[in-house]
Structure 1
């Protein structure tokens, strides 16, 4: 068991896009390259940003609303390929994230990433940030047969780390993050600095804790307490 100070979790697991990383600018560059290749006008960041946590298909739908579902589905491989070229060129950590991760590490906690982004892209992000030695576990959207909101990826992360799910806390900016944590038996933190649609209300997700900025998670008492 971790020797983390009281309050900090033994293991903190994080969503990636919209939680640790402001990757919307990379996604915008990707979408606008695809639009330009088809002679279309660019999409504005504000119009795309709220869809980032929903994945490639949602961003393609926002960028090409006139296309039918089949046409948009056929564009997914292209989106992922272009995004890999743009990955890390424009994105930045949200303010306060690095300090929060350092606080966890100093406390004796381990942290990792559970994302619906394909694992190969998530590993590229981690490498680009120099986190290979800091990130204790990485589970992508295609690592397991299921992805969030199914609990399997969170349970797989706990399994790889050799801890019980209830010793972990999962942090994310989307309702499916909270749903996955609840199904996995993990306490959850919903963050409001990420990406969400206008009608989405984080208070309604029933997370154990709601955080409005990363600095709040510098304090051990801000974290929900697990049962481990």
Structure 2
């Protein structure tokens, strides 16, 4: 099986509260959402800080299974992420999504629409901001049935579900950051088109460069899922 995923990222962020200029709360350590839309990063926001970010992902897949007529797929994903620091170790987060898929030799060829919204919390077992060598964060979220119904929307969407995560993050320099995460998620019921999606396990990793003077992150990421 040959599989190619290209994930460029342009992350735009809005810091709703002005952050202090001292080293502990340096904004460059907290900016943005990761290159890989499947990972949220292990660092949590300081208490009382609110951040919003827009993630974009573009994927082009062809010849996934050589000789078996596997369709070419182009997909575009947009995520709106909102994060708020309840304490220095506990963070509230929500993610909304829009998906646009074009597939050759399949009906319908075009699938698009809003995805299911997630609302959850992340807790930092280890905090690099507190002096630990890296971040280790566990999280849980509920998937709300906010997706759209219909033939040209994602099958199985619009269903209640759940997600648990384990994420490791290391800030190597103020501008270079690495993330690795494990995600297990699945629906509790049938959704759009009377389809119940299977449970999913993901392993994600990425390295990114965060510009100090621009609302922009660039990086490379890898996602394996089953």
What's the TM-score once normalised by structure 1's chain length?
0.33
What's the TM-score once normalised by structure 2's chain length?
0.33
- Structure having the higher helix fraction is 1
- Structure having the higher strand fraction is 2
